[in-house]
Amino acid sequence: QQQVRQSPQSLTVWEGETAILNCSYEDSTFDYFPWYHQFPGESPALLIAIRPVSNKKEDGRFTIFFNKREKKFSLHIADSQPGDSATYFCAASTGGNYKYVFGAGTRLKVIA
């Protein structure tokens, strides 16, 4: 029940395109949904996060779309750049116990 599913496993886009990464969950008690990116040899770094009071959160080129009814959320990276090439992880946590449940990751490659 405490699972977060992430797709696709890998994604290749051209520079300038919008990359779309998807996640879904089952546990309706989850109330915080962050996205992290991780570059090779580095640790995960927080990119953007959303709480279910909103269905959209934007930060520059990065946007989270959240669908509470379908228990899905996605990360859209607009105008993708080669420097965005990394592994992206979605996660979820529940208020009161803040541990993260992570998705399996999406390896994004942006081709110039």
Partner 1 sequence: NAGVIQTPRHKVTGKGQEATLWCEPISGHSAVFWYRQTIVQGLEFLTYFRNQAPIDDSGMPKERFSAQMPNQSHSTLKIQSTQPQDSAVYLCASSKTGGGYEQYFGPGTRLTVL
Interface residues toward partner 1, by CB under 8 A: 32, 34, 36, 42-46, 49, 89, 91, 93, 95, 97-105
Residue 41 Cβ vs partner 1, minimum distance, rounded to whole Å: 9
61/107 with CB nearer partner 1: 107
45/111 with CB nearer partner 1: 45
Residue 79 Cβ vs partner 1, minimum distance, rounded to whole Å: 25
Cα–Cα dist 31/46, whole Å: 17
Residue 108 Cβ vs partner 1, minimum distance, rounded to whole Å: 16
User: What is the tally of helices (H) and strands (E) in the chain?
Assistant: 0, 11
74/93 with CB nearer partner 1: 93
DSSP per position, 77-90:
ESS--GGG-EEEEE
Cα–Cα dist 49/75, whole Å: 10
Beta-bridged to residue 6, according to DSSP, are 23
